Amino acid sequence: MTIDEAVRRSHILHRALDRTPLNVASGSGISFTLNSGKEIIDAASGPSVACLGHNQPEVTKAILDHLNNNIAYAYSGSFFTNDASEELASLLLTHQPGGLSKAIFVNSGSEATDAALKLAVQYWHEKGEKKRTHFIARRQSYHGNTIGALCVSGHDSRREFYKDFMSSNVSFVDPCYAYRLKERNERDEQYAQRLAQQVEDEILRVGPEHVAGFIAETVSGTTLGCVPAVPGYFSKIRDICDKYGVLLILDEIMCGMGKTGTMHAWEQEAGFRGPDIQTIGKALGGGFVPLSGVLLHKKIFEALSNGSKVLVHGHTFQAHPLACAAAVAVQKIIKRDNLLENVKQQGVLMEQLLKDKIAPLPFVGDVRGRGLFWAVEFVRDRGKRVPFSPEDKFCETVVDKALELGLAILGNLGRTGEHYVDLAILSPPYIVRSDEIHRIVDLLAQAIESTSANFL
């Protein structure tokens, strides 16, 4: 691999060393403009972050108003709070969805995962069950890139260098990935029951008295590509967790905050009452200022209230006033402009176009998703569902071809586990119009067709 000269000259350690990063100069609507003057449609919102698109004047004004009229920074560890963080928490939790009643605001999704894991362990300490420190997660999952978050992430290539740091108190079960792991002639109900039994068997193997929580993405993100669970899966998992007193932690950092058409993706699971702990991020603040969070059920708060009366966790920039003020503006715009209805309507159109124009293409194995959170999985042999090899760089080429055409999409994150998943994710901003959906799908089709020509 040859090191790119621009990367060599830069004082930033860029994430890819073999190619010149494209310098983004400005943005407007769902597009941004490079220094070269080329306009790019941001069909992935970065990694599903920029839910209001780029250059939102109302959010900019809210940020400036806050800086001019309020405090830029207040340290939560010194017993201070601020109006912005209080207002954001109230916006999210006034109606206590699924019993979620309190929030912790942090910077990144990885931090939110770490906070959720620590909160779960503290909960069991407060309850007097100090042996409950084991977590069950799912293979080919992703919950963040800090060491704590990587410990519960079933992402082989991102864990590879850090195996010696990985915790021994985490074990893994299968994901709910019907396209590859559901058996032939197996009904959804049977598949969900088989996976729930796996979780129960793992709890029993470890010993229920040792298990703190089960963590899963409600709709899988970058490792599997926008995979919703089959109907009934999460209700069965909820029942198993309740049976053994295990906390259910749902990761909605990527798929939540409206991405699938409801504020929380779990709200679309029939008969499901919700998680005990939930992580949120990305679309929470729309990318204007870094922000993620942890939502916790009232029973978690009650355990702390009746016990130590402290949260044994904290960060310097926790509940950062400016970040929360930006997120308040984002969430108010989403509600005022009824943007979740647009997510639903444009999501129906995107599904139709993807299935009509993309699914029939030679190397497309599956199209899946909800709302404005969709993925295309590529395979070398569609009938046998044989994936491309990483060396083929099929997905990488599709992403590059799309960029040449003026379309930014999100590709896979390397080898994540037993099943190599070549994918492209589309997650445009909530403000996207129908004509823009048509344009996005047309450009994606061109990129796939151009790449496919080398493999036919």
| DSSP letters spanning 390-418 | GGG-HHHHHHHHHHHTTEE-EE--S--SS
- CA Rg value for the chain: 22
Per-residue pLDDT, 412: 87
Residue 53's SS3 state is coil
Per-residue pLDDT, 58: 97
d(CA 312, CA 300): 13
Record the tokens describing residue 381, joined without a space: 């042999």
In one-letter notation, the amino acid at residue 335 is K
Query: What are φ and ψ of residue 357, in 5° steps?
Result: -105, -25
Reference 294, options 148, 93, 87; nearest CA is 93
Per-residue pLDDT, 14: 92
Q: Check for a shared fold between 5-55+338-453 and 61-336.
A: no
Per-residue pLDDT, 456: 87
What is the enclosing helix (H) or strand (E) of 92?
helix 83-93
d(CA 30, CA 311): 39
Q: With beta carbons less than 8 A apart as the criterion, state whether 175 and 233 touch.
A: no
Reference 200, options 249, 239, 250, 240; nearest CA is 240
Per-residue pLDDT, 95: 96
Per-residue pLDDT, 415: 85
Per-residue pLDDT, 275: 98
Q: Describe the chain by its helix, strand, coil percentages, rounded to 5.
A: 45, 20, 40
Per-residue pLDDT, 245: 98
- Strand-pairing partners, residue 368, are 375
Reference 225, options 365, 111, 26; nearest CA is 365
Per-residue pLDDT, 23: 95
| Strand-strand pairing, 31-34 and 24-28 | antiparallel
What is the enclosing helix (H) or strand (E) of 252?
strand 247-252
CA dist list (Å): 127 to 32, 131, 278, 298, 393 = 50, 11, 20, 14, 50
The answer as to CATH 3.40.640.10 being correct for domain 61-336 is yes
CATH homologous superfamily of 5-55+338-453 equals Aspartate Aminotransferase, domain 1 (3.90.1150.10)
Q: Would you kindly state where each structural domain of the chain is located, as residue ranges?
A: 5-55+338-453, 61-336
- Strand-pairing partners, residue 278, are 250, 295
pLDDT in tens, the chain (456 residues): 788 899 999 999 998 898 899 999 999 999 999 999 999 999 999 999 999 999 999 999 999 999 999 999 999 988 899 999 999 999 999 999 999 999 999 999 999 999 999 999 999 999 999 999 999 999 999 999 999 999 999 999 999 999 999 999 999 999 999 999 999 999 999 999 999 999 999 999 999 999 999 999 999 999 999 999 999 999 999 999 999 999 999 999 999 999 999 999 999 999 999 999 999 999 999 999 999 999 999 999 999 999 999 999 999 999 999 999 999 999 999 999 999 999 999 999 999 999 999 999 999 999 999 999 999 999 999 999 999 999 999 999 999 999 999 999 999 888 888 889 999 999 999 999 999 999 999 999 999 999 999 998
d(CA 97, CA 301): 15
